[in-house]
Chain A
């Protein structure tokens, strides 16, 4: 990870706690963040088998409120905002006028408004965009006094339930729903969601309580702290794109294979940025598409590697890549021409003067393990 930063590096609320746990800290998204504690592969496999605690307090937590909020927000994202009931969560995309992706984000209806979680690296750009495009009547509260923790893995629910109280049992939450609970006596918004492909929870709490809650959760035998390195390899196995790498202003929802984020009502009614282009791509196909690749051999093919056609012309690029700890093979995400995008297609990849063979592979590479509830 070499995220070069010219601006001063800020500290997260859990900075001292991470160092005390033996974390190696690196600059990421403008913050000093833990890349690993005991080692990326061990942390990755621990999360897949038990439960891992991630500090994702670098992400932007915003609360939007005010009259006409749903209509105003629908002018900026393709989600059916009006259809999001209290406690429901939707993955969505902040779109530019040409349909390019400015950020991917989570929308969740709180009783008092829409809670939005955005990527740390672009949160100030997102806030500026929202301020510019939302009407005066809408209030944007950047809740930078809150920390965000994620507890992920098949044993996350058991470990977390021991510390959570509320009007209803934690286990009544299904995937992509949330509610107000107390954790260790602290008021928290907890949703059943995450970025690893596993069952798990994201926990928004006041920053000054973060150290105590992190210590509480890591006191459970199922739970260990997990760094950014494993967060990246877990989300890659889960087929989840990373903004700034697999998504950017040059990619559209159709190119990025995120068609599920275009809700049915919005596809029919329109009114979101880039509507005409996106609907045309949906009907006719986009020039390029994000696909998963399994790479032959053991050597990882990483972001920046090129996809070559039969004549050696560059026709696409790898946007994320690494070694899959679960599968023990190199995997990657790449943008390839539509003609090369179907599962099973062999593609040639070039990296530092060396050629590799990749096979287009349906994502997720490792099956999702979400817990869904009916209703």
Chain B
């Protein structure tokens, strides 16, 4: 499994041609208390860089972008009942959706963990 990160603070864990997407610990800390998450249902096509999900904190609504293009295969249903999973476990239980990759070469421009850490520290 390979883990990648975007400049918009999403993570994507890739295994073969399928992947799991969520937001990073940095992102959840910036957003604060999360009270609502809307994830795309299975079958939804998503396009790299376009809105795929919505996350709302007490303060504000934010879009979550698809890190790569593909088709959603599963949404994390647990977030509907307990959106605070994104705060408590952003990079594990608080995952947003799984998808099949349309074009694995889209991963090339993404950051690895070390590069993302350096990116966050530069902010």
Is B56 within 8 A of A299, CB to CB?
yes
With A36-B32, A39-B33 as known contacts, state yes or no: A323 contacts B58, CB within 8 Å. Answer: yes
Is A229 within 8 A of B32, CB to CB?
yes
With A229-B59, A325-B58 as known contacts, state yes or no: A299 contacts B32, CB within 8 Å. Answer: no
Is B83 within 8 A of A298, CB to CB?
yes
Is B32 within 8 A of A302, CB to CB?
no
| Complex contacts, A29 vs chain B, CB 8 Å | none
- The 18 listed contacts between A and B (C-beta, < 8 Å) are A2-B60, A39-B32, A39-B33, A40-B33, A40-B58, A40-B59, A41-B33, A229-B32, A229-B59, A233-B58, A298-B36, A299-B36, A300-B61, A302-B60, A322-B58, A323-B35, A323-B58, A325-B58
Of all chain B residues, which has the CB nearest A35?
Answer: B59
Of all chain A residues, which has the CB nearest B84?
Answer: A41
Interface assignment of A20: CB less than 8 Å from any CB of chain B: no
Query: Could you say which interface size class chain B belongs to?
Result: 10 to 19
Of all chain A residues, which has the CB nearest B30?
Answer: A24
Is B32 within 8 A of A40, CB to CB?
yes
Separation of A2 and B57 alpha carbons in the complex (Å): 14
Query: Could you say which interface size class chain A belongs to?
Result: 10 to 19
| Complex contacts, B59 vs chain A, CB 8 Å | 1, 35, 40, 229
| Complex contacts, A323 vs chain B, CB 8 Å | 35-36, 56, 58
Given A300-B36, A323-B56, 9 new contacts (CB under 8 A): A2-B60, A36-B32, A39-B32, A39-B33, A40-B32, A40-B33, A298-B80, A300-B61, A323-B58
Q: Residues 74-94 of chain B: 1 if any A CB is under 8 Å from the residue's CB, otherwise 0?
A: 000000100100000000000
Residues of A within 8 A of B (CB): 1-2, 35-36, 39-42, 229, 233, 298-300, 302, 322-323, 325, 352
Residues of B within 8 A of A (CB): 32-33, 35-36, 38, 56-61, 80, 83
Is A299 within 8 A of B58, CB to CB?
no
Nearest CB in chain A: distance from B36 CB, A: 5
Separation of A35 and B60 alpha carbons in the complex (Å): 12
Is B33 within 8 A of A1, CB to CB?
no
Separation of A325 and B59 alpha carbons in the complex (Å): 12
Of all chain A residues, which has the CB nearest B81?
Answer: A298
Nearest CB in chain B: distance from A19 CB, A: 17
Of all chain B residues, which has the CB nearest A297?
Answer: B36
Contact of B56 among A39, A300, A325 (CB under 8 A): A300
| Complex contacts, B36 vs chain A, CB 8 Å | 298-300, 323
Is B35 within 8 A of A300, CB to CB?
yes
Is B61 within 8 A of A302, CB to CB?
yes
Nearest CB in chain A: distance from B79 CB, A: 10
Is B35 within 8 A of A298, CB to CB?
yes
Separation of A302 and B35 alpha carbons in the complex (Å): 13
Is B38 within 8 A of A299, CB to CB?
yes
Nearest CB in chain B: distance from A303 CB, A: 11
| Complex contacts, B58 vs chain A, CB 8 Å | 40-41, 229, 233, 322-323, 325
Nearest CB in chain B: distance from A334 CB, A: 17
Separation of A35 and B32 alpha carbons in the complex (Å): 10
Nearest CB in chain B: distance from A294 CB, A: 15
The 10 closest A-B pairs by CB, nearest first: A323-B35, A41-B33, A40-B58, A299-B36, A298-B36, A39-B33, A40-B33, A300-B56, A323-B58, A40-B32
| Complex contacts, A299 vs chain B, CB 8 Å | 36, 38, 56
| Complex contacts, A41 vs chain B, CB 8 Å | 33, 58
| Complex contacts, A36 vs chain B, CB 8 Å | 32
Nearest CB in chain A: distance from B81 CB, A: 9
Nearest CB in chain B: distance from A229 CB, A: 6
Separation of A341 and B35 alpha carbons in the complex (Å): 28
Nearest CB in chain A: distance from B11 CB, A: 22
| Complex contacts, B60 vs chain A, CB 8 Å | 1-2, 302
Nearest CB in chain A: distance from B75 CB, A: 15
Of all chain A residues, which has the CB nearest B63?
Answer: A352
Nearest CB in chain A: distance from B99 CB, A: 23
Nearest CB in chain A: distance from B101 CB, A: 28
Separation of A325 and B57 alpha carbons in the complex (Å): 11
Nearest CB in chain B: distance from A337 CB, A: 27
Nearest CB in chain A: distance from B46 CB, A: 17
